[in-house]
Amino acid sequence: MFTKEDLILAHSKVKTGVDFPNYIQDCKKLGVIYYETFVQDGRSIFVGKNNYSVTLLPKYERINIASKLEIEQFKKNLQEHQKGATDFIQFCKDCSETGIEKWKIDLCEMNCTYLDIAGNEVLIEQIPLS
């Protein structure tokens, strides 16, 4: 099974959203089935077989999540991030400002679901293979 150190090493290779598909492949190889990342502090919970889980601690000071969802601005920010224009922390700040509380990555279905502060699914995207 994967360890905190394995996950930290995999994440260290990610500089921008362009690196995300390779990161997902690394996580799959480690045995991650799904994970959630919380925008408020960058903490993530990774889950493998038999409900094995590893939590990576917060990556930055807590930030507030806007209560009003700004879906169109979020989509623009996401596109910019996927093109490599922003790093992880900036993307999290952009998410917080547009009302995104967290995202869930399903490595079996190969999709990413973004949720607002009320827990509503805002956007579901397929994860490219590379």
> What one-letter code names the amino acid at 69?
L
Residue numbers of the domain that contains 98: 4-125
pTM, rounded to two decimals: 0.90
Mean per-residue pLDDT of the chain: 94
**Count of domains forming the chain:** 1
Q: Residues of the chain with pLDDT > 70: what percent?
A: 99
33-75 pLDDT, tens digit each: 999 999 999 999 999 999 999 999 998 999 999 999 999 999 9
Strand 100-106, strand 53-56: pairing:
unpaired
Average pLDDT over residues 85-96: 93
Residue 117: CA atoms inside 13 Å, Cβ hemisphere, count? 14
Q: What pLDDT is attached to residue 130?
A: 61
CATH label of the domain that carries residue 72? 3.30.1810.10
- The tokens for 85 are 């224009």
Residue 86 resides in a domain = yes
Task: Provide the 8-state DSSP code for 48.
Answer: -
Residue 94 resides in a domain = yes
Residue 130 resides in a domain = no
